[in-house]
Amino acid sequence: MKNKFITATAFLATGELQELQSFGVEFKQARGLPGNVPVLTCHITEEQKHFLGPQIGKGNLGFGYIPLEDGVNVQMIRIQLGDLQFCWIAEMDDPDLWAAIDMWMSVGRLPVLFKIQDEKAWDYVLIAFTTPPGPLPNEAFRTDANLGPSETTMAQLLLLVASGTLQEEATTDIPGISVRHVFVNVLMTEWTRRFIEQPLMVGPGTRK
């Protein structure tokens, strides 16, 4: 199988894991967190920022998994802020993500940096979410094999994100609040980076 999983017409949003100290900024909500804690990123483009209201609603963080073909599962991190949901989809065996999850659970918080495009600049909003009590649902599929990403699984993962199914089938995590919009990201780590054609993906301020 070739490592070309999406076409030039399919732009998929990507999230990353970056150390808190790499931003060189002291975020109020990050106080007390170690500098090497991984920060989960989410890019919100100029075309998408109208979904954001002037105030941030009630928040909820959850970890889970999505079954694909042939019994394969992928990881999902899902955050709901008011009537908006933000999802990151990742390879189940990604050691970079598991290391991040271990640290988040250890410190009790998961920091998320929302990078919001404003004309030619980017605004940054960091929110630290309290982690849920363990064990997490996706722990049932955790392995230490570290065999490298599966091309077949990555292909299915990217097709799932591109399909719009996650948006269409979204259900609220906050009782009484309906979901208005879902931001879905492919989580790109050093472990999976070589399997994703970056020129075809949405990044901060760049598109093909």
Please state the pTM of the whole predicted model: 0.86
Task: State the DSSP string of 147-161.
Answer: ----HHHHHHHHHHH
Over the stretch 62-109, which tens digit does the pLDDT of each residue have?
A: 999 999 987 889 999 999 999 999 999 999 999 999 999 999 999 999
> Is residue 204 assigned to a domain?
no
Total number of domains in the chain: 1
Determine whether 158 is exposed, middle or buried from the number of CB atoms within 10 Å of its CB (0-12, 13-18, 19+): buried
Alpha carbon 123 to its chain's center: 18
Over the stretch 11-64, which tens digit does the pLDDT of each residue have?
A: 789 999 999 999 999 999 999 999 999 999 999 988 888 888 766 667 899 999
> Is residue 207 assigned to a domain?
no
Tokens in use for 65?
């998994």
| Domain span holding position 175 | 12-194
Percent residues over pLDDT 90 in the chain: 62
